[in-house]
Structure 1
Amino acid sequence: MTETPEEPDYDALLRANLERVFNERDADLRASALADLFVHEPIMYEPTGVVQGREAIATVAGKLLEQFGPAFRFSPTGNAVGHHGLGSLQWQAGPEGGPVLVTGVDVAEIVDGRIARLWVLLNPPAA
């Protein structure tokens, strides 16, 4: 049997991504978080396109927060799961204390303990 490398803490990493990147309104703190959590040249796959690089991901996160207002937040809805470098975390988003506007899941490829590729999957709106 071949030895496998130690698994990253998928839950801590993906929760930190939600909190420190996608909920962070301060651009400098968001940039610092991206440097901590993502590889040098990450790629993010969104329903509307592909975003390449830490700076571009920071811009997308900042625009989302601006678009939806000061009370808008992403929150995990469970614990992240993963193995062999692939992790996922379900989340919901909306105004803090208000109705849930969108739900989805982040799926991340983890390389050397950092996010290399991130897929943002949105659930269809509730009927």
Structure 2
Amino acid sequence: MPQPNNAPSPRPAPDFNALLRANLEQVFNERDANKRIAAIQQLFSAEPTMYEPEGVVTGQAAISDVAGALLEQFGPDFSFVAQGVAVGHHGMAYLRWHAGPKEGPVVVTGADVAEVVDGKIVRLWVLLDPPAQ
């Protein structure tokens, strides 16, 4: 006689595309610090970690500060634009992007890779492509 399967049913996969696009638009393109931190509180875990080429930052406020500093550094017309659809499975996802002035040339390209737990980003790696030769 077969035994009943008491294993918990798997959780539905998060919408990786919506999550990573929201991160790009509502965090890294948001110039209003209050709106940016509100978005981070919705999209990230309570104590997220972000890995970028210059270092590692921990906490929602620190991630907001990094995003704000980037926008300030590159000026009011600078923005990040998603390329394609974010893909992922088993709690890991990535989204390719490019950035630069809205009407100008692309300044940098890269990808965000996120570890997602319970629908929130717990760790985010910002990977930059090498400059074009």
User: TM-score normalised by the shorter chain: which range applies?
Assistant: over 0.9
- 1:16-55 alignment, distance < 5 Å: 16-55=22-61
Match of residue 97 from structure 2: 91
Measured in 1, the distance between the counterparts of 2:33 and 2:54 equals 23
Structure 1: gaps of 5 or more residues: none
Instruction: Give, in angstroms, the shift of residue 4 of structure 1.
Output: 2.9
TM-score norm. by structure 2 comes to: 0.93
Sequence identity, in percent? 63
Instruction: Give, in angstroms, the shift of residue 5 of structure 1.
Output: 1.9
What's the C-alpha RMSD, in Å, of the aligned pairs?
Answer: 1.1
Partner amino acid, structure 2, of 1:126: A
TM-score norm. by structure 1 comes to: 0.97
User: Paired residue for 1:73, among 76, 79, 82?
Assistant: 79
Instruction: Give, in angstroms, the shift of residue 58 of structure 1.
Output: 0.3
Instruction: Give, in angstroms, the shift of residue 94 of structure 1.
Output: 0.1
Measured in 2, the distance between the counterparts of 1:30 and 1:107 equals 19
Structure 2: gaps of 5 or more residues: none
User: Paired residue for 1:122, among 107, 124, 128?
Assistant: 128
* Count of residue pairs the alignment pairs up: 127
